[in-house]
Amino acid sequence: MSKSRCPICDAAMPGNWQDYPDYPFCSRRCRVIDLGRWLGEDYRVPDPTPPNDRSSPADGD
């Protein structure tokens, strides 16, 4: 049985993974932290600025 470590806080997790309801995290808190990281990294949305904003008043007809 190989030992596991929490990918968040690097805490040693001896025993079976069945002992950890939040595996591969050592605790619910680390699970939430990991989830927050994912959401944070995925929160990058492109700038919704329109590419052609044709509102230039210099365009005299």
CB closer to Zn ion, 23 vs 59: 23
- Per CB under 5 A, does 26 bind Zn ion? yes
Q: Distance between CA 21 and CA 23 in Å, rounded?
A: 6
- Per CB under 5 A, does 9 bind Zn ion? yes
Q: Distance between CA 35 and CA 38 in Å, rounded?
A: 5
| Closest distance to Zn ion from the beta carbon of 18 (Å) | 17
Size of the site for Zn ion (CB under 5 A): 6
Q: Is 51 exposed, middle or buried (0-12, 13-18, 19+ CB in 10 A)?
A: exposed
Binding site for Zn ion (CB under 5 A): 6, 8-9, 11, 26, 30
